[in-house]
């Protein structure tokens, strides 16, 4: 992004349409817009209202967020129990994430954990996670990752975190006018994630009574869009879910699993993947296969982080800001728009 683009980006507003190469009067095309979104990690919030992105500076949060009805935090892929060279102390970096959250001047209403709570689904790992998250002093909503379900098909996860959920742990709830949907796409793995017909039938029923103006936040572990199918980074039957979601004016989809920030916007649907609190993974196709990526000890917290989401009810704006544990700028990977 050029210096001139950076200087004017505080006022740019683009109308998103289906033409990938469309250019706004300000001279920035949609692909360029996504590149500029990378600056969110260093101080910009992009808010989506009816498909129109609006930027504003993200600094001292208390003053700027006072009109927001609420905010919440996404954490992901804590992998408690992992102890290989990529991060020998994942409990410490999860605690660092909670310390960062605790330092915010605006207090989030709750936390969402988008899976791979543990590395091996062992009781002691779940115990450690619970002990650390007590320090959050906020309710935590969970969905499982494949590391939480691979040993016993998720029975231990459901016993601890699945009370009141349906099937393998899917559920929904409402908070201050926003409808949240936690989906499970890690149990019927067939190369990629899969929701399954029973969950899709439930989703249809869950959405049936909602008005199209209701803001929707969907969260799951594996991305619900085709990030990199070669590595299984996608969900095979996600299109069936989005066929039900397209009538809503504002849909935000939060995922984990790939341990890095990627964003994509299609119409009124904004897709976002989060960093891990445990270890990074390579960018799609940058290595022979996915997996823990070792970086130097002094750089580890640059590539771990959290996601802060703010919702303004009056305008239905939802702003997403990623922050590394160290405060270093975040690399955002651009995905092509449909």
Q: Are strands 52-57 and 44-49 parallel, antiparallel or unpaired?
A: antiparallel
pLDDT at 103 over 70: yes
Q: What is the pLDDT of residues 112-123, one digit of tens each?
A: 999 999 999 999
Confidence of residue 317 (pLDDT cuts 50, 70, 90): low
Q: Are 325 and 279 in contact (CB under 8 A)?
A: no
∠139-143-144 over CA atoms, to 5°?
A: 130
Distance of CA 233 to the CA centre of its chain: 14
Tell me: pLDDT of 210 over 90. Answer: yes
Q: Are 5 and 24 in contact (CB under 8 A)?
A: no
Task: Convert the pLDDT of each residue in 252-287 to its tens digit.
Answer: 999 999 999 999 999 889 999 999 999 999 999 999
d(CA 74, CA 112): 5
Q: Using CA atoms in the order 5, 6, 9, 15, what is the torsion angle rounded to 10 degrees?
A: 50
Percentage of the chain modeled with pLDDT above 70: 76
Give 84 or 22, the one with higher predicted confidence. 84
Q: Which residue has the higher pLDDT, 171 or 65?
A: 171
Q: Which residue has the higher pLDDT, 164 or 190?
A: 164
- Please give the Cα distance from 15 to 72 (Å, whole number): 27
Q: What is the pLDDT of residues 123-149, one digit of tens each?
A: 999 999 999 999 998 999 999 999 999
Does residue 200 surpass a pLDDT of 90? Answer: yes
Q: Which of the pair, 107 or 6, is modelled with greater confidence?
A: 107
d(CA 211, CA 231): 36
- Is the confidence at residue 313, as pLDDT, over 50? yes
What is the per-residue pLDDT across 88-100, written as a single tens digit (0 to 9) for each?
Answer: 999 999 999 999 9
Q: Output the pLDDT for position 67.
A: 34
The residue among 35 and 302 whose pLDDT is bigger is 302
pLDDT band at 150 (very low <50, low <70, confident <90, very high): confident
Looking at beta carbons, which pairs linking 10-16 to residues 24 or more positions away fall under 8 Å?
10/55, 10/56, 10/57, 11/55, 12/55, 13/52, 13/53, 13/54, 14/52, 14/53, 15/51, 15/52, 16/51, 16/52, 16/53, 16/265, 16/267
Compare 152 and 3 and report the one with higher pLDDT: 152
**Separation between Cα atoms, residue 299 and residue 84, nearest integer Å:** 16
Reply yes or no on whether the pLDDT at 66 is more than 50: no
pLDDT of residue 310: 86
pLDDT of residue 189: 76
Which pLDDT tens digit goes with each residue over 12-59? 222 223 333 333 333 334 343 333 333 333 333 333 333 333 333 333
């Amino acid at each position: 992004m050029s210096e001139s683009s950076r200087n004017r980006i505080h006022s740019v507003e683009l109308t998103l349409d289906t033409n990938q190469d469309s250019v706004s009067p300000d001279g920035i095309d949609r692909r360029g817009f996504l590149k500029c979104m990378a600056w969110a990690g260093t101080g910009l919030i992009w808010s989506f209202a009816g498909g129109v992105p609006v930027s504003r500076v993200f600094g001292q949060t208390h003053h700027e967020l006072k009109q927001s009805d609420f905010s919440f935090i996404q954490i992901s892929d804590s992998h408690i129990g992992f102890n290989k060279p990529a991060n020998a102390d994942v409990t410490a970096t999860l605690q660092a994430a909670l310390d960062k959250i605790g330092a915010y001047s605006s207090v989030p209403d709750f936390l969402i954990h988008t899976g791979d709570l543990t590395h091996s689904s062992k009781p002691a790992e779940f115990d450690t996670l619970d002990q650390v998250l007590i320090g959050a002093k906020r309710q935590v909503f969970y969905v499982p990752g494949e590391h939480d379900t691979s040993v016993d098909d998720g029975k231990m996860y459901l016993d601890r975190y699945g009370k009141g959920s349906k099937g393998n742990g899917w559920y929904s709830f409402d908070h201050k006018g926003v409808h949240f949907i936690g989906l499970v796409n890690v149990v019927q793995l067939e190369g990629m994630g899969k929701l399954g017909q029973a969950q899709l039938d439930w989703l249809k029923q869950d959405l049936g009574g909602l008005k199209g103006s209701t803001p929707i936040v969907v969260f799951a572990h594996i991305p619900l869009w085709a990030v990199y199918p070669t590595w299984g980074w996608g969900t095979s039957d996600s299109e069936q879910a989005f066929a039900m979601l397209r009538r809503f004016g504002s849909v935000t989809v939060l995922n984990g699993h790939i341990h890095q920030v990627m964003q994509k916007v299609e119409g009124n649907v904004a897709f976002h993947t989060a960093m891990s609190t445990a270890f990074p993974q390579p960018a799609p196709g940058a290595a022979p296969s996915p997996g823990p990526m070792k970086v130097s000890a002094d750089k580890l917290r640059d590539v771990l982080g959290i996601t802060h989401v703010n919702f303004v009810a009056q305008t239905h704006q939802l702003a997403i800001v990623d922050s590394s544990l160290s405060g270093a700028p975040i690399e955002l990977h651009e995905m092509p728009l449909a």
